[in-house]
Structure 1
Amino acid sequence: MRYVVLIHSDPEPWGHPTVDFTAEGRAVPSERRAADGAAFDAFLADLSARGELVAAEALAAPSSATLLRWSDGGAVATEGPYAEAGEHLAGFFLVDVATPERAREVAARFAGPGDTVELRPAYVWPS
């Protein structure tokens, strides 16, 4: 079962890892952030070794986005950011896990100070 783990955040300035650039993340002592970062790196290595990590990407700042909407029979481009929101999509991880419970377990590891994590099943195309 494939799931997408979507990381929503609003770092200032925009940067990765987002925890280093959010007010909530900067409030965490640097030693704790370093330890949490090392634990997260180990978690990603384990996820990869188990064959559950399919793909992952951090995204550039929302101001670099282009939104394409259908209008009058064609696509019309608008420069970003694409949404009036307090948080923007900062990155994603595509995982392939055996159960919904495992997907929630994995997604919980992505939650960090100043971030919101969305777990969504990947769409299965009818055959």
Structure 2
Amino acid sequence: MSGAAGAGEEGKTVKYMILLYGSQRDYDALSGQPGDRPAMTPEQVAAMHAHMEKTHQALVESGELVDAQGLAAPAHARRVQLTGGAPVVTDGPYPETQEVLAGYTIVECASFDRATEIAAGFVNPDAPGEYVDVRPVVDGIEDLAG
């Protein structure tokens, strides 16, 4: 298996993207807006940011962090589709139950197992059902075959 999907050749590292998800209601709770879920307290928000900072700093120190970014709330998103060849734009937010990409972290490490181990650190153990996805980053079209 070549490139990104493989476990890495001897000494070769591979990039993996860890995808974090959320919904508009998650962003609302994060910003302190009450809704069908309680607003997060400033202490809870600070604890979440401290956890992310600690996790990313550990990846910097291990040399595995490539990039990490959070994304704006779904209320600030646009979905573009084609209908009859013409673009149709839908402004967010989308239905409250629909999760969207909330942020990502790209790591470069020796194996898919290591990337999975890193990803587990982003899942909140106090949030049943929360998940992240881990996907290899491809270097070229030859890496898409699978």
TM-score, normalization by structure 1: 0.70
Q: What residue number does 1:19 align with?
A: none
Q: What residue number does 1:120 align with?
A: 135
Q: Is residue 125 of structure 2 the alignment partner of residue 110 of structure 1?
A: no
Does the 8 Å CA contact 2:71/2:101 hold for their aligned counterparts?
A: yes
CA RMSD, 1 decimal: 3.2
Q: Is residue 27 of structure 2 the alignment partner of residue 8 of structure 1?
A: no
Q: Tell me the secondary structure at the aligned position of residue 105 of structure 1.
A: helix
Aligned residue pairs total 118
How far the C-alpha of 1:84 sits from its partner, in A, is 6.3
Larger Rg: 2
TM-score, normalization by structure 2: 0.63
For 2:90 and 2:51, how far apart are their aligned partners in 1?
Answer: 39
How far the C-alpha of 1:47 sits from its partner, in A, is 0.5
How far the C-alpha of 1:88 sits from its partner, in A, is 2.7
For 1:64 and 1:38, how far apart are their aligned partners in 2?
Answer: 25
* Structure 1 unaligned spans of 5+: 17-22
* Structure 2 unaligned spans of 5+: 1-13, 32-36
Flag the 1:101–1:62 CA change in 2: closer, same or farther, 3 A: same
Flag the 1:37–1:71 CA change in 2: closer, same or farther, 3 A: closer
Moved over 3 A (4+): 36-40, 82-86
For 1:123 and 1:79, how far apart are their aligned partners in 2?
Answer: 30
For 2:49 and 2:71, how far apart are their aligned partners in 1?
Answer: 19
Does the 8 Å CA contact 1:9/1:116 hold for their aligned counterparts?
A: no
